[in-house]
Structure 1
Amino acid sequence: MNISGSLTRVLPIEDSSQIGHARRTAQQLAEQHGFDERDAGRVALVATELASNVLKHATHGEMHLRVLKRADGFGLEMLAVDRAGGFDLDACMADGFSTGGTQGIGLGAVSRQAEVFDVYADARGAVLLARLYPRTDRQPDLRFGVSQHSLHNDPACGDVWHLAFNGPDISALIVDGLGHGEDAERAGRAGEKAFALTPFGAPVPLMEDLHREMIGTRGGAVAFAQFHGERDSLTYAGVGNIGASLVTADKSRGLASHPGIVGGQYRKAQPFDYAHVNGHLLIMYSDGLQSRWNLQDYPGLVHRHPAVIATVLHRDFCRGRDDVTVLVIALEAAHG
């Protein structure tokens, strides 16, 4: 299964009228992607409660929406994001706890409505995740998360990401086209097109395929990682300034890239192999994200859902002067 990357849809939550807009937007997205009336109603309920929590605890924040491609159909991801402390998770999880202007069903009830529910909250703010799938969808949740945003909310984004799943194996790509806007996006999509044909191919010829496809565009930085589930290993190849790390609860190691521009000039992209990576997080990011983050500064975050981790990192380390992509994947052989 191939998942072609898309931007995170961001809805501001700054006054009560925007709660209704978030609810309607999420419900319409669900209906457009195969949710029946009952399942779309669950989406509307969860969106209302998540957005209401933002106003209750932070007075302003955002709702992040993403359609999730599945092997058969689609799911919907919603994240409530704020930058204020004081979030009382225990109180909010209690049924009947009102967030003001809602049915007061509490996040405990929301967690039962959603197939996936997770939270991370500290003095820097809170991120609440809900993923909903149609009741007929019995596929396991794919343990990845991505937060992607263009500079100044431009509809074109020079960053491009792509994921491929093949049984227990995963292949992940990020391309950062030089600059930003339509020309940068054209470069990124050219690279993605070549990658999608053979995402599990041998790394050196695969990078050469991307290079050939990107000639005539601006070119860009490229990195891809191939997780071999049965072999419990990861192969990584990068050219340019895509950052990547393998992270566990007690350590982090950066993955090395080579200098150059794919589609321009670069030396042969020698891949690097990493053994015994099962249970690690793979975090890849474009240079729109500062590189000075450390998950150990966020106690317990490493154990949260990858979508929560990606969103926290974007919230706290986005440079704000370029397109930005953060991709987080839990490396688990059980993906297949």
Structure 2
Amino acid sequence: MTRVWEIPVHDSTRVRDARVAAEAAGAHAGLDAHRTAIAALVATELATNLLKHAGGGRLLVDLVECPGPGTRGPAVQITALDHGPGIPDVTAALRDGYTTSDASLGAGLGTCVRISSAFDLYSSHRGTVSVARVDQSAGRRRTAPACRVGGINIPLARAEHSGDAWSCVSSDSRLTLLLADGLGHGAKAAQASGVAVDELHRVGHLAPAEILRHLHPALRPTRGAAVAVAQLDTLSGELTFAGVGNIGARLHAAGSWEHLISHPGIVGAQFPATVPVSRRHCAPGSLLVLHSDGLPSRWVPPADPALLTRDPAVVAATVLRDASSAASPVRDDTCVAVLALDHPGGDP
């Protein structure tokens, strides 16, 4: 089941909570004491930054696992989101040892960049989103893959488990991304989406519609779930998409956004007789966003081209942050996953 730690950071007592959450996540991920301490340091620094520079925000800690060169087991992902004034000089802020706060540990974002397995951020007048991942490997990975995947997952009402889940697997030249939304929320919804993720690792080499058909009997003992599967052939650039249930999908290609449609139904309960399949050619620079129905259906895709080049988890977190509104409170778990097909020699 998807375990998520959400910490609202609005006073100094929450900085300790951020550190404790990162330590707990490190234990769940099987990190050794040194790498767990690094995750705790990064979480502490990001939480401190939220207080001192953005007037508060929220920190999310969860476990992610994606295929890729140098990946060693699950990583602790630490995401900081705020609606502050933004960072005036990102280049300076990412310099090792740079800090403007006496209350900071002095590590600064530059140190977070150096000690994390992966780190990226996006800052604008609407605020800043920072994402760090710490796995068992020492140092950052330098290989730029042909495509990248990332996501964010927020349980309803800061619950321990999310009923949504995302995962990806690779087989030969194909990368397959799945997003599942277990019916309802809570532990039983998380069980359903967890089964979908587990099954993906067994059948991820199949085509998306066949993956969904294999998931249906596997999810019968559960509540069932809405599930979407996107598969990218990194050699040909062909994207194949199939979904059952209320999973949103938007593809950004050739400068415009397009909806990809899922078929009504419930995997594990009411499976359709036929599963429509969408196929699109994706040139380098294309980007796919999958999301559960916790995200408002009329969310506005990001307009800043610079955001679309950032780490997919940063894109996912920014989409989620900017889609939320006090006038439209979230009523379900929310998960956003992003697949990006990079330009050759693009920023990893």
Residue identity opposite 1:126 in structure 2: T
The 3 A distance-change label for structure 1 pair 7 and 249 is farther
**In structure 2, what is the equivalent of residue 92 of structure 1?**
93
Which of 301, 306, 314 pairs up with 2:307? 301
**In structure 1, what is the equivalent of residue 44 of structure 2?**
48
Contact 1:177-1:218 within 8 A present in 2 as well: yes
Aligned counterparts, 1:134-145, within 5 A? 134-136=136-138, 140=143, 143-145=148-150
Aligned counterparts, 1:1-80, within 5 A? 6-30=2-26, 33=29, 35-69=31-65, 71-80=71-80
- Is 17-26 or 317-326 further displaced after alignment? 17-26
What TM-score do the two structures reach when normalised by structure 1? 0.85
Structure 1 unmatched ranges of 5 or more = none
3-state SS in 2 of match to 1:295: coil
- How far 1:33 moved relative to its partner? 4.0
**In structure 2, what is the equivalent of residue 316 of structure 1?**
322
**In structure 1, what is the equivalent of residue 82 of structure 2?**
82
CA distance in 1, matches of 2:299, 2:55: 26
Which of 133, 151, 155 pairs up with 1:146? 151
- How far 1:134 moved relative to its partner? 3.9
Contact 2:73-2:135 within 8 A present in 1 as well: no
Contact 1:48-1:102 within 8 A present in 2 as well: no
Contact 2:2-2:164 within 8 A present in 1 as well: no
Cα offsets for 1:25-73 (capped at 9, x unmatched): 3245436645455444433332222111100122221122123336533
Which of 291, 295, 305 pairs up with 1:289? 295
The 3 A distance-change label for structure 1 pair 283 and 36 is same
Residue identity opposite 1:60 in structure 2: G
- How far 1:333 moved relative to its partner? 9.7
What TM-score do the two structures reach when normalised by structure 2? 0.82
Residue identity opposite 2:316 in structure 1: A
**In structure 2, what is the equivalent of residue 208 of structure 1?**
213
- How far 1:213 moved relative to its partner? 2.8
The 3 A distance-change label for structure 1 pair 277 and 256 is farther
3-state SS in 1 of match to 2:162: coil
**In structure 1, what is the equivalent of residue 168 of structure 2?**
163
Residue identity opposite 1:309 in structure 2: V
Identical-pair percentage: 34
Contact 2:99-2:107 within 8 A present in 1 as well: yes
3-state SS in 2 of match to 1:300: helix
The 3 A distance-change label for structure 1 pair 135 and 290 is same
Contact 1:52-1:100 within 8 A present in 2 as well: no
Residue identity opposite 1:76 in structure 2: V
